[in-house]
Chain A
Amino acid sequence: QVQLQESGPGLVRPSETLSLTCTVSGGSVSDYYWSWIRQTPGKGLEWIGYIYYTGSPNYNPSLKSRVSMSLDTSKNQVFLTLTSVTAADTAIYYCAKDLRPSMVTAWFDPWGQGTPVTVSS
């Protein structure tokens, strides 16, 4: 049973860079595609992008200029970086596993518990 746990700073200053970590247990990060998804009261659920241990990440065009994803197979972790943040980036950030191994189905199962991020000075 794969489990995911997000971590990162709860508060980020405007214009700075947000960095989050997703730690995977019960499975290998090399086996699946991993997505980041965020949730806000105003915009709801928004898919940010996915990454696999080979190939290039795939990002939502709405965030592509500010997003970067990577992973560390030795630590079984997935990372999200979002630059030049504003108040609009205030959200709960989730990492999620793709449903099937080694392929993109874009069905997300399971999700981590999420980490809240506030952008404020």
Chain B
Amino acid sequence: ETVLTQSPATLSLSPGERATLSCRSSHSLSSHLAWYQQRPGQPPRLLIYDASTRATGIPARFSGSGSGTDFTLTIASLEPEDSAVYYCQQRSNWPPVFGGGTKVEI
């Protein structure tokens, strides 16, 4: 089973700063990776799929990049509402698997 490793575990930044989150896969995924945001008490929300495509309604400050085994989620200028845990998820190697998450504190 594919393992997704996210780093760092926690990221503490100020409003307006840039956040860079990493997701590394144990197997090549091509571009079959998604990112989700989970705010406290809420279900996960799809942000990015196919590594770099923003889901409907997601602000442009969120962007995804990468392919193969290394992927990045970038939040260009942090807003207070971006405080959340961010998960990556792969669908290239069945079954779908999620990473352990990165907590972003603002």
Contacts and interface: CB of A to CB of B under 8 A. Distances in A.
B47 to A, nearest CB: 10
A110 B47 CA distance: 11
- The main secondary structure of chain B at its interface with chain A is loop
Contacts of A105: 49, 91
A62 B45 CA distance: 25
Contacts of A47: 95-98
Contacts, number: 49
A65 B64 CA distance: 36
B91 A106 contact: yes
A110 B56 CA distance: 11
A45 B50 CA distance: 19
Interface stretch (A13-21, A68-76, A79-87, A111-119): A111-119
Interface of A: 44-47, 60-62, 94, 99, 105-114
